[in-house]
A and B are shown apart, each in its own frame.
Chain A
Amino acid sequence: EPEVTQTPSHQVTQMGQEVILRCVPISNHLYFYWYRQILGQKVEFLVSFYNNEISEKSEIFDDQFSVERPDGSNFTLKIRSTKLEDSAMYFCASSEGWGAEQFFGPGTRLTVL
């Protein structure tokens, strides 16, 4: 069964460093998302992406964040200068259409020291 994959599973970085989180969505899906979950809290929407552009973003997704679909399969989230409060689990998700169920990857746990 097709699934969303994410790499790495765990990333440790120093404050101020740039990180890139990678995702491979399900191949026939058209909508892509990033969410984050701070430990013990709810899942929060960051950004959605469709037709090679951002379609919606939350207030969390400030200028330090960017997303890219560099080729036909990868979908990346970049944090330019990480802060301690960026420590969280980051989930990528994809869906095949508008309003369809979103399938989540296993997540990348980002730890900022």
Chain B
Amino acid sequence: AQKVTQAQTEISVVEKEDVTLDCVYETRDTTYYLFWYKQPPSGELVFLIRRNSFDEQNEISGRYSWNFQKSTSSFNFTITASQVVDSAVYFCALSEALSGNTPLVFGKGTRLSVIA
């Protein structure tokens, strides 16, 4: 069965620090997709990144970077030089190709607080 674990429930950092949010997943499928979503205090879910299981290249987008390692079933998210606006709950999610319509299975989320 598919499962996403975000072991860090809450993280607090001081502005400009780097922070890494961990995500470990379980799946029986060889074809799957991994996602990160941001949920700011306003409550909406904002898509950040999608990665398929065949693409292990790390990705950088501005201050955001993602490290996908199939060997450890991890898809970690790093924010460099954090800012107060990064304060949010961040969810990692997985969908399997076997599911056909690929519903997302979410982790429990990591609440990030960036203090000025």
Contacts and interface: CB of A to CB of B under 8 A. Distances in A.
Contacts of B46: 104
Nearest to A109: B43
Nearest to B108: A42
A56 interface: yes
Contacts of B14: none
Interface string B42-64: 01111100101000000000000
A91 interface: yes
B95 A44 contact: no
A99 interface: yes
Interface string B88-101: 00010101010111
Contacts, number: 63
Contacts of A50: 101
Nearest to B99: A56
Contacts of A102: 35, 47, 104
A29 to B, nearest CB: 12
B109 A99 contact: no
Interface string B67-98: 00000000000000000000000010101010
Given A56-B99, A99-B97, A35 B104 contact: yes
Interface residues of A, number: 28
Nearest to A107: B43
Place the interface of chain B in its size category.
20 to 34
Contact of A42 (B33, B44, B91, B103): B91
27 contacts: A35-B104, A41-B108, A42-B108, A43-B45, A43-B104, A48-B101, A48-B103, A56-B99, A56-B101, A58-B103, A91-B45, A93-B45, A98-B100, A98-B101, A98-B102, A99-B33, A99-B52, A99-B95, A99-B97, A99-B102, A101-B47, A101-B50, A102-B35, A104-B44, A104-B46, A105-B44, A106-B43
Interface of B: 33, 35, 37, 43-47, 50, 52, 91, 93, 95, 97, 99-109
Interface of A: 31, 33, 35, 41-45, 48, 50, 55-56, 58, 89, 91, 93, 95, 98-107, 109
